[in-house]
Amino acid sequence: MKLTLKIWRQKDAKSTGKFVIYSLDGISPNCSFLEMLDILNEDLIRKNDDPVVFDHDCREGICGMCSLYINGRPHGPDDAVTVCQLHMRKFKDGDTIVIEPWRAKPFPVIKDLMVDRTAFDKIIQEGGYVSVNTGGAAEANNILVGKENSELAMDAAACIGCGACVAACKNASAMLFVSAKVSQFALLPQGQIEAKQRVKKMVKMMDELGFGNCTNTYACEVECPKQISRSNIARMNREFMCAKMV
């Protein structure tokens, strides 16, 4: 395959970046998208150019590190995958591919396509946990959880924290991410005790960090590589209302 790549290059957080065009030939359709970038980088190094910096780690779709906005879609044109699981067979020979970093105020660019997502950690630190110390836990089967709720909790807990929801949302809203964590605990008995405090604190931090508001376009749900449902957002709204009113 022959490809033209238009990639965002930015030296560091303070510099202004620009798009740079590269062409690449002989790419196998079975190659993953990141392996294609590896080939590009190998090529750049050979030409004494700086390789393109992008976040990636596990390359099996679970760590949530890879984060590229490809041709107008976070994680590219395939559904329910991360970039590392995207394969070049999803593109056509001769395609031009535009690769941009996640864009959101709380996700500043560090270099090229690498962004800072510590905002997500800060939200979790506000209450994305059950406050239980090591060693004090009771016998596991003393807590019974119905299969239906445990499955729903697992659906929500599958979030990999990649930030595609924010990247896809026209408002750069983090509602899907936050609601996934709130939902997981809202659905489990373990999470009930701190439920009210949790949702209030996490939403407050989300707002403070400068994420946008949800306007129900559901782009997040479409782009989520783990197909987290927007019903989690509704559940969080419900939890939030109850927490504020009662």
Partner 1 sequence: MNSSFLRFSSITKKIWMAFLGLFLMIFLVVHLGINLCLLRDDGGAWFNAAAHFMGTNYIVKVFEIGLFAGFIIHIVLGIILQVQNWMARPVRYLVSNKTTTPFLSKYMIYTGCIVLVFLIIHFMNFYFIKLGWVSNVNISADGEPEFYIIAKELFANPMYSILYIVLFIVLGFHLNQAFQAAWQTLGVNHPQYNVCIQRFGTFYAIVVPLGFIIIPFYFLLIH
Partner 2 sequence: MAELNSKIPKGPLTSKWTYYKDHQNLVNPSNKRKLDVVIVGTGLAGAAAAASLGEMGFNVKIFCYQDSPRRAHSIAAQGGINAAKNYPNDGDSVYRLFYDTIKGGDYRAREANVYRLAEVSNSIIDQCVAQGVPFAREYGGSLENRSFGGAQVSRTFFARGQTGQQLLLGSYSALSRQVKLGTVKLFERHEMMDVVLVDGKARGIIARDMITGKLERHFGHAVVLATGGYGNVFYLSTNAMGSNGSAIWQIFKKGAFFANPCFTQIHPTCIPVHGDYQSKLTLMSESLRNDGRIWVPKRKEDAEAHRQGKLKANDIAEENRDYFLERRYPAFGNLVPRDVASRAAKERCDAGFGVGSTGLAVFLDFRESIGRLGKNVIEERYGNLFQMYEKIVDENPYINPMMIYPAVHYTMGGTWVDYELQTTVTGLFAAGEANFSDHGANRLGASALMQGLADGYFVLPYSIQNYLSGEIRIPRMSTDKAEFAEAEKAVQTRLEKLMSIKGTKSVDIFHKELGKIMWEYVGMARNEAGLKKAIELIRALRVEFWKDVKIPGSLYEVNTELEKASRVADFLELGELMAYDALNRNESCGGHFREEYQTEEGECKRNDEDYKYVAAWEYKGDGEFAMHKEPLVYEEIEVKQRVYK
Site residues for partner 1 per CB under 8 A: 6, 8, 19, 69, 71-74, 98, 100, 103-106, 168, 170-173, 203-204, 206-207, 210-219, 222-223, 230-231, 233-241, 244
Contact criterion met (CB below 8 Å) for 156 and 145 = no
Nearer to partner 1, 10 or 85 (CB): 10
Find the Cα–Cα–Cα–Cα dihedral 195, 209, 119, 242, rounded to 10°. Answer: 10
Provide the token pair at 55: 């976040």
* Range in contact with partner 2 (rule: CB under 8 A) among 23-31, 95-103, 211-219, 237-245: 23-31
Q: Which of 14, 16, 30, 245 binds partner 2 (CB under 8 A)?
A: 30
Amino acid at 228: I
Residue 121 found at the interface with partner 2 (CB under 8 A) = yes
In the complex, least distance from residue 213 CB atom to partner 1, rounded to whole angstroms: 4
Amino acid at 19: F
What are 102-105's contacts with CB under 8 Å, separation 24+? 102/67, 102/69, 102/74, 102/163, 102/164, 102/166, 102/167, 103/69, 103/167, 103/172, 104/163, 104/166, 104/167, 104/172, 104/211, 104/212, 105/172, 105/210, 105/211
Rounded distance, CA 161 to CA 164, Å?
8
**Taking CB within 5 to 8 Å according to partner kind, which of partner 2, partner 1, none is near residue 141?**
partner 2
In the complex, least distance from residue 137 CB atom to partner 1, rounded to whole angstroms: 31
Nearer to partner 1, 6 or 196 (CB): 6
Nearer to partner 2, 34 or 172 (CB): 34
**Taking CB within 5 to 8 Å according to partner kind, which of partner 2, partner 1, none is near residue 217?**
partner 1
Nearest to 75 by CA among 134, 132, 33, 47: 33
**Taking CB within 5 to 8 Å according to partner kind, which of partner 2, partner 1, none is near residue 72?**
partner 1
Restricting to residues 147-206, name those near partner 2 by CB under 8 A: 147, 150, 153-154, 157-158, 160-161, 184-185, 188, 190-191
Contact criterion met (CB below 8 Å) for 106 and 118 = no
Nearer to partner 2, 134 or 245 (CB): 134
